[in-house]
Structure 1
């Protein structure tokens, strides 16, 4: 009988991904600097770079690493024309050195996770800007971009998955898209229309349960079935 996988869910406090994988019988732990929202005793408060990646995991799924300075939409705060020229403007109360420090943090966490000694890695991150791409490992593929409505979630939020040793996600319960301008279309865009506030970043990055249920099944059950039949 195939043993359950040891799975680490990095940079997650909601427990949504942890619970999806645990429901299939795997030995799953989450980790983050903050406490788990569900109070689980299978959550470790730590910096993911501080040794936990070397504890014999079968799969690493990194849910919400710092990506604000790596993504294309954040590029304008990092540089003006060309590469690493002074930006035309900066967020209120922030300095260019602040932006550079956050950029370096995002690069370090992403590359540390991608190069971890783990056979299967999935990192959730938007498509990167050119400055971030210049710092990425040579074997990093283009992300697979998926939408929550592929998995039965009535929402728009393009989600990028950088995958190593894992198959791209397949649609499981694709919903028909609403007509633009309708009330349903407005509801589907709730993530993008979220007003400013102290919890905005956390809520915008929250995982969709339907997507994580599909990921848990396709990244573990299907792989274990293939191993048994090989």
Structure 2
């Protein structure tokens, strides 16, 4: 019992910042493990918690955190699937366009639209770079596999340490999730399921995130953190940090 109480006390002193998260999934997982966890995003928290900082994560990463988990940084311009828009810009303005860009988009030519897309790439890479090089000892950033233009824009870039699937952690779903890690171990699968065969009804259900129809909340559905991954991260990375702090 004494050892358990000491462990709880140590964890309460470990400050965890979950960046670019509104769902609270990862924040709650670390809170459940006894850590002093907070989330931060430009948007308000979905669960109306008082442990959410609404604002730019770069304004708070210098506040002496022990662990930084950036779960959903704007990745559309960084990932391989977005590379095509740097060659042939979309007909409609992208979701992350500013009001001024949206208003001007119909009258812009291809080169002007491309200039906006490349500017968004620079902004996304700058955010990732600032988080990756944050003055925090333990860091994890979720992001899909990046294209070469993104990699060259990130200071001290290193390849992703691992790519996991929700079904590695007991959630019946397909969604490749890559983690870029600094002084954190790769996650170990906790409840590996057997994926259904392509073409079966179960395979379609597991692929729901990729089959999500267009809509205002599509981005939020596609970026959601699965509870199994959140629980594994809180336990495994939390244990690692606690051992380091002991």
Give the TM-score of the pair, scaled to structure 1: 0.91
Q: Where do 1:150-189 residues align within 5 Å?
A: 150-189=168-207
2:120 to 102, 112, 133: 102
Work out the CA distance in 2 between the residues paired with 1:44 and 1:33: 8
Counterpart contact for 1:66–1:106, Cα < 8 Å: yes
2:153 to 100, 110, 135: 135
1:116 to 131, 134, 137: 134
Counterpart contact for 2:75–2:124, Cα < 8 Å: yes
1:219 and 2:219 are equivalent in the alignment: no
Partner of 2:61, secondary structure, is helix
Structure 2 regions of 5+ residues with no counterpart?
1-5, 94-112
Work out the CA distance in 1 between the residues paired with 2:57 and 2:72: 12
Report what 2:209 is aligned to: 191
Work out the CA distance in 1 between the residues paired with 2:77 and 2:52: 27
Work out the CA distance in 1 between the residues paired with 2:157 and 2:55: 27
Counterpart contact for 1:125–1:161, Cα < 8 Å: yes
Q: What CA deviation, in whole Å up to 9, does each residue of 1:97-150 have, x standing for no partner? A: 221221111111100001111000000000100101111223523341100000
Report what 1:39 is aligned to: 48
Work out the CA distance in 2 between the residues paired with 1:137 and 1:102: 17
Work out the CA distance in 2 between the residues paired with 1:171 and 1:195: 30
1:59 and 2:67 are equivalent in the alignment: yes
Work out the CA distance in 2 between the residues paired with 1:114 and 1:222: 19
Relative to structure 1, is the Cα distance of residues 213 and 198 closer, same or farther in structure 2, using a 3 angstrom cutoff?
A: same
Report what 1:83 is aligned to: none
RMSD: 1.3
1:17 to 17, 21, 26: 26
Structure 1 regions of 5+ residues with no counterpart?
79-86
Work out the CA distance in 1 between the residues paired with 2:119 and 2:72: 18
Work out the CA distance in 1 between the residues paired with 2:226 and 2:92: 33
Work out the CA distance in 2 between the residues paired with 1:206 and 1:62: 13
Larger proportion of helix: 2
Q: What CA deviation, in whole Å up to 9, does each residue of 1:193-225 have, x standing for no partner? A: 111111111110010011000000000124424
Work out the CA distance in 1 between the residues paired with 2:245 and 2:176: 31
Q: What CA deviation, in whole Å up to 9, does each residue of 1:152-207 have, x standing for no partner? A: 00000000100001000100000011111111011000011111111111110010
Report what 2:104 is aligned to: none
* Offset of residue 226 of structure 1: 6.2
Work out the CA distance in 2 between the residues paired with 1:225 and 1:180: 42
Counterpart contact for 2:164–2:177, Cα < 8 Å: yes
